[in-house]
């Protein structure tokens, strides 16, 4: 009986209460439901990741700063850059709204840690052999008329191995078209 009392006391001390569980859930990023953002993502995924047969995308937005300032560039880019900074002040949970020709998977940070912990990424590449790594996407910044978008992305291939950039897109005849050159590229 005394053991049971001790176990109950330990459980109460270390297990979260329902209120604590709710607080933990409330820190979950909100769903990212901006339909135009998924059009932008799809344009980037189709034009940049052409050599990959499968896309693995981290399921929450990952903001990059890389010298992003809202006061540089043409007026439409300036507005999109300012919106980018504002919308990326928090993380969002990505949805399965990508319109791409390749199979893709959204992967949580916990799944990613499980597949990449303990050294080489053997478990990750065994599960996603045709991916080339996983993709981080920022939330998308738009100018006021939603004709210019700014997004950051990167491809992580392993420990200290990856690259990414900011990309500006223009809406042309109802479709998002990435500019031919990215801005503020990074390699790690």
Cβ–Cβ < 8 Å for 93, 30: yes
Predicted pLDDT at 47: 93
- State the pairing for strand pair 141-142/148-158: antiparallel
Give the domain ranges of the chain: 30-187
Predicted pLDDT at 183: 72
Predicted pLDDT at 155: 93
Give the number of residues written for the chain.
Answer: 188
pTM of the model: 0.81
Predicted pLDDT at 68: 58
How many other CB atoms sit within 10 Å of the CB of residue 132? 18
Q: Which is nearest to 151 in space by CA: 120, 172, 182?
A: 182
Q: Which is nearest to 61 in space by CA: 28, 29, 17, 16?
A: 29
pLDDT per residue, tens digit, the chain (188 aa), is 333 333 233 333 333 333 333 334 458 899 999 999 999 999 999 999 999 999 999 999 998 867 655 445 555 578 898 999 999 999 999 999 999 999 999 999 999 999 988 778 889 999 999 999 999 999 999 999 999 999 999 999 988 888 888 899 999 999 999 987 667 778 87
């Amino acid at each position: 009986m005394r053991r049971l009392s001790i176990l109950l006391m330990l459980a109460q001390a270390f297990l979260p209460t329902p209120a604590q569980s709710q607080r933990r859930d409330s820190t979950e990023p909100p769903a990212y439901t901006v339909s135009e953002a998924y059009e932008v993502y799809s344009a980037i995924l189709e034009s940049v990741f052409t050599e990959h047969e499968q896309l693995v995308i981290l399921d929450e937005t990952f903001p990059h700063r890389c010298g992003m300032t809202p006061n540089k560039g043409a007026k439409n880019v300036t507005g999109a850059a300012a919106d980018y900074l504002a919308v990326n002040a928090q993380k969002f949970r990505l949805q399965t709204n990508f319109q791409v020709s390749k199979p893709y998977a959204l992967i949580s940070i916990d799944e990613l840690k499980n597949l990449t912990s303990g050294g080489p990424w053997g478990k990750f590449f065994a599960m996603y052999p045709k991916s080339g790594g996983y993709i981080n996407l920022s939330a998308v910044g738009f100018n006021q008329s939603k004709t210019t978008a700014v997004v950051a992305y990167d491809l992580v291939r392993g420990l200290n191995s990856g690259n990414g950039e900011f990309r500006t897109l223009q809406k042309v005849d109802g479709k998002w078209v990435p500019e031919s050159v990215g801005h503020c590229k990074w390699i790690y």
